């Protein structure tokens, strides 16, 4: 596994030369627009990267974008791998391990999720303060000691300093933030009403089908993580959402998220 990670990183370096990204970014569903704001230097399609999972989904778009945001070197994943697509947890998290080999010092993750906290509204941004993992753990199996410990600590999983920076920047920019616990399930079904109530009862604020595996693997490697969920629907509401409105709200929220990520990257130490 480690050899494969290193082989893939070496392949990428053949294309990107000495460009060493400081920040890794995972762009979630509908949030790929952030990529337009990257001063792009190199783009690599996942299907052309040896070792990357091969997409089985028709028309699946996925690529790594290397470039600058606010002058800082970044690598962004436009499209991620989900467990519900049939990939193993090792495949889902492989790109994060490759990004670590490329030298990232921070990981920014984003996703679309369903609000469970009843004070959340469609289009809200939720800063992820913690998570509950309801998927298989990506670290099951032989531990790769070179990457991290057998029993990684999950305190401060979402970096408190980065959360504080987000709060400060959001205030300056007039962006409203929610804060909460992300519950990661396997999908692909959305939750039943009883499941949304269960997620709420166990302490969740938003439900999704991604992010948690990538964050666990990043924390195993001691990379500080910042995460944002865009609330695209409200799980406990009886209202049947107007699809167009949800999309519009999602897009608007995406713009806010892009602004927040950009300013945060600009302000990184």
Shortest approach of ligand HPA to residue 94 CB, angstroms? Answer: 22
Shortest approach of ligand HPA to residue 97 CB, angstroms? Answer: 24
Q: Cα 177 vs. chain centroid, distance in angstroms?
A: 17
**Is residue 180 close enough to count as binding ligand HPA by CB under 6 A?**
no
Shortest approach of ligand HPA to residue 91 CB, angstroms? Answer: 20
Shortest approach of ligand HPA to residue 110 CB, angstroms? Answer: 12
- Residue 134 phi, psi dihedral angles, 5° rounding: -110, 20
Neighbours of 15 (CB within 10 A): 14
Kindly tell me which residue out of 233, 253, 257, 261 binds ligand HPA, with binding defined by CB under 6 A. Answer: 233
Is 182 within 8 Å of 263 (Cβ atoms)?
Answer: no
* Dist. CA 89–CA 98, nearest whole Å: 15
Cα angle 266, 157, 6 (rounded to 5 degrees) comes to 75
Kindly tell me which residue out of 114, 123, 148, 250 binds ligand HPA, with binding defined by CB under 6 A. Answer: 114
How many H helices and E strands in the chain? 6, 9
Tokens at 71, concatenated? 């002058």
**Is residue 209 close enough to count as binding ligand HPA by CB under 6 A?**
yes
Closest among 64, 88, 122, 87 to 245, alpha carbons compared: 122
Q: Cα 150 vs. chain centroid, distance in angstroms?
A: 23
8 vs 232, which CB is nearer to ligand HPA? 232
* Dist. CA 80–CA 107, nearest whole Å: 14
- Residue 181 phi, psi dihedral angles, 5° rounding: -95, 130
Kindly tell me which residue out of 190, 193, 248, 266 binds ligand HPA, with binding defined by CB under 6 A. Answer: 190
**Is residue 211 close enough to count as binding ligand HPA by CB under 6 A?**
no
Closest among 143, 117, 269, 135 to 212, alpha carbons compared: 135
DSSP letter (8 states) at residue 83: G
**Is residue 96 close enough to count as binding ligand HPA by CB under 6 A?**
no
* Tally of CA atoms within 13 A in the half-sphere of 238 that contains its CB: 0
227 vs 235, which CB is nearer to ligand HPA? 235
Shortest approach of ligand HPA to residue 184 CB, angstroms? Answer: 9
Which residues, numbered 126-165, are part of the site for ligand HPA (CB under 6 A)?
none
**Is residue 109 close enough to count as binding ligand HPA by CB under 6 A?**
no
Kindly tell me which residue out of 124, 159, 191, 205 binds ligand HPA, with binding defined by CB under 6 A. Answer: 191
Kindly tell me which residue out of 113, 178, 211, 249 binds ligand HPA, with binding defined by CB under 6 A. Answer: 113
Kindly tell me which residue out of 207, 212, 215, 260 binds ligand HPA, with binding defined by CB under 6 A. Answer: 207
Shortest approach of ligand HPA to residue 233 CB, angstroms? Answer: 5
171 vs 190, which CB is nearer to ligand HPA? 190
**Is residue 212 close enough to count as binding ligand HPA by CB under 6 A?**
no
Total residues binding ligand HPA (CB under 6 A): 11
């Amino acid at each position: 596994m480690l050899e494969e990670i290193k082989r893939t990183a070496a392949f990428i370096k053949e294309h990107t030369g000495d460009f060493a990204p400081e920040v890794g970014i995972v762009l979630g569903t509908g949030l790929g627009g952030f990529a337009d704001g990257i001063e792009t230097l190199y783009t690599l399609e996942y299907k052309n990267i040896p070792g990357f999972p091969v997409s089985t989904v028709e028309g699946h778009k996925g690529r790594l974008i290397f470039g600058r945001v606010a002058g800082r070197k970044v690598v962004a994943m436009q499209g991620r791998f989900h467990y519900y697509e049939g990939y193993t947890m090792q495949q889902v998290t492989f790109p994060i391990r490759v990004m670590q080999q490329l030298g990232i010092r921070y990981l920014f993750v984003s996703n679309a999720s369903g609000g469970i906290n009843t004070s959340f509204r469609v289009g809200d941004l939720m800063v992820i303060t913690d998570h509950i993992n309801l998927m298989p753990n990506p670290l099951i199996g032989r531990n790769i000691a070179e990457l991290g410990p057998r029993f990684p600590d999950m305190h401060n999983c979402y970096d408190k300093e980065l959360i504080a920076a987000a709060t400060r920047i959001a205030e300056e920019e007039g962006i409203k933030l929610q804060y909460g616990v992300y519950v990661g399930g396997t999908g692909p079904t959305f939750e039943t009403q009883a499941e949304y109530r269960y997620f709420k009862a166990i302490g969740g604020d938003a439900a999704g089908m991604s992010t948690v595996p990538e964050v666990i693997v990043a924390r195993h490697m001691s990379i500080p993580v910042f995460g944002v969920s865009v609330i695209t629907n409200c799980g406990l509401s009886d209202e049947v959402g107007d699809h167009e409105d949800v999309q519009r709200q999602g897009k608007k929220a995406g713009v806010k998220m892009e602004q927040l990520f950009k300013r945060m990257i600009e302000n990184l130490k």
